[in-house]
Amino acid sequence: MTKLSVIVPTYNRVEMLEECLKAVRASTFQDYELIVVDCGSQDATGDVARRYADRLIELSGIPSRSAARNQGVASAQGEIMVNVDSDVVVQPSTLTRIAEHFARHPDVEALTGLLSKEHPHPNFFSQYKNLYMHDLHCAFERLPQGATLAFVYGSIHAVRRQAMRPYGVVARFADDLELGQQLAADGKRIAFVRELEVVHLKRHDALSLIKNDFQIPFDWAIVFVAYKGWKRLGRHGVGFGHTRVEQLLSLILAPLMVLTGVLAFSRDPWLPWAVGLAGCWLLLNLHFVVFLTKERGAIFGLLGCAWTFLDHLVMATGIGCGFITAFVSSPRPLQRNR
């Protein structure tokens, strides 16, 4: 049996896909198969995939990313399923590190990594999002020894065949978070591997970033309800999934800051509340602002602080809408036959 099955879901990503697949083919580890699942692309994505993939699966229509991932898993012949998004460039050592980590740690059922600090697009929104995701996942290095994650990161993760669960049971955009919740519910150990660092090629502008940061929290809330996230809330300092406790508190504080700020214009007693909440929010996010400043300079840090506040308002709105949708629809995860 092949050791690794590298699955790359894609849709209209012809330029980024070529970089992605070239990087996989440059791997030092050779015992793998490369499967590309094309979700009905209307450009030359399929032609690029044929030049590099061992197997190309072409789906009709425009199915979801989770459906593409599931099709890739269903056709895979490897012992370990490795998901690599089509806008990601792996290192030559990435597949080797995955295989070696599983070999050294037979108790680990899944691995996840993170984004590099480097990004090919110099515009503020691409740089900001990339640094945000890098910093977010670096925090998991500080988990207590023996602690396990309850998420995998979509851009790069790997799961043993026998532990694999379906993607996208209740979540369309946060299907990686949901997979982690399913594995955690099964008692499987998920490890964060700092060396699994990949470069993200996706270019963001203000609108795409706002859309992304509404959609993911929306699905986060649905997964939270479906998998009873309140039972895991705060465990090892993690809020739920990949979300840290301080981030959740910031998302609560951001709309309260706006509300008390508006009230402060008409009623003086609200001013201390507005200032106090703003101080708490800044304290919770000071580490990230300092990180941005160190990486990209003072002006970037100031802009990043302002954007983070706006972003938290967007995320809070997404979570609120997601909770409403979840309580109306009552999403339920699949039950594994034991």
List alpha helices for the chain, DSSP H: 14-25, 45-52, 65-75, 94-104, 124-138, 175-185, 206-226, 245-266, 271-296, 298-329
- Per-residue confidence (pLDDT) for residue 264, from 0 to 100: 84
CA distance 308 to 208: 15
Check: CB of residue 101 under 8 Å from CB of residue 193. Answer: yes
Check: CB of residue 177 under 8 Å from CB of residue 227. Answer: no
Q: What residue type is assigned to position 138 of the chain? A: C
Check: CB of residue 4 under 8 Å from CB of residue 95. Answer: yes
- Per-residue confidence (pLDDT) for residue 338, from 0 to 100: 44
- Per-residue confidence (pLDDT) for residue 281, from 0 to 100: 97
- Per-residue confidence (pLDDT) for residue 165, from 0 to 100: 95
Which structure tokens are listed for 244? 């840290």
Check: CB of residue 35 under 8 Å from CB of residue 5. Answer: yes
- Per-residue confidence (pLDDT) for residue 243, from 0 to 100: 83
CA distance 209 to 213: 6
> Tens-of-pLDDT digits for all 338 residues of the chain?
569 999 999 999 988 999 999 999 999 999 999 999 999 888 899 999 999 999 999 998 878 889 999 999 999 999 999 999 999 999 999 999 999 999 999 999 999 999 999 999 999 999 999 999 999 888 877 766 666 788 899 999 999 999 999 999 998 889 999 999 999 889 999 999 989 999 999 999 999 999 999 999 999 999 999 998 888 776 655 667 788 888 999 999 999 999 998 988 877 788 888 999 999 999 999 999 999 999 999 999 999 999 999 999 999 999 999 999 999 998 888 766 44
Q: What is the DSSP string of 4-53?
A: EEEEEEESS-HHHHHHHHHHHHT-S--SEEEEEEE-S-SSTHHHHHHHH-
CA distance 274 to 286: 18
| Residue 14 CB contacts under 8 Å (≥ 6 apart), including other chains | 41, 43, 44, 45, 47, 48
Largest CA distance in the chain: 71
Residue 198, beta-bridge partner list: 115
Residue 161, SS3 per DSSP: helix
